A = this chain, B = another copy of it.
């Protein structure tokens, strides 16, 4: 019974569990990614999962790490400034498609090994484009990461179940904490947050270029 997944897995393993959890989070949102749902998708009992993961929190960490490992690398053959902007916008676009990842981090998980490739390459691009030393580049990287995280976190989950009734709760267009009364933002195109992020990226690079005086 239960031939749910295309090709019922022979044995359980952490990668299989993470893949199933990822599928559910992408399709039905993070709240639907319950231990029960993951077990059901794998055609097994919930208790069986606990032979491979300690608890749900560990599964969330594994998920965040899995996403981090797929963060884009810089594109080849570009001028350093464009390489810098491009990689971060690529990362933004990628994470926007897995919105739950930002939420996991907001709940306290730390992205660890999985983000190393992205971090290393982004640091290299930053160093090349700015001429800054490693300490300053690291600081700029952290600022950029948090800038991206903030932009991602403050927008509605896309593939989420709740779709209709929270439009009633939030009267504004769809973003901004409180754009001051009266004149709202004049109905932004589609992803105003992405435009904001793109606007802010070069500012950090410019700051890094003249950072030694600050340090």
Contact = CB atoms under 8 A, between A and B. Distances in A.
Interface of A: 57-58, 61, 68, 102-103, 105-108, 110-116, 118-120, 123, 134, 138-139, 141-143, 145-151, 153-154, 156-157, 160, 162, 166, 169-172, 175-181, 183, 185, 192-193, 196-197, 199-200, 202-204, 206-207, 214
8 contacts: A68-B178, A102-B153, A110-B177, A116-B181, A119-B180, A142-B179, A142-B196, A206-B207
Task: Give this chain's copy count.
Answer: 2
B196 A146 contact: yes
A105 B193 CA distance: 15
A196 B143 contact: yes
A169 to B, nearest CB: 6
Contacts of A103: 106-107
Nearest to A115: B178
A151 to B, nearest CB: 5
A153 B68 contact: no
Given A139-B196, A154-B149, A170 B119 contact: no
Q: Which of A148, A151, A185 has most chain B Cβ within 10 Å?
A: A151
A66 to B, nearest CB: 14
A102 B106 contact: yes
B147 A146 contact: yes
B146 A151 contact: yes
Contacts of A107: 103, 106
Contacts of A185: 138
Contacts of A199: 139, 143, 207, 214
Nearest to A123: B180
A18 to B, nearest CB: 16
A143 to B, nearest CB: 5
Given A68-B178, A180-B120, A153 B106 contact: yes
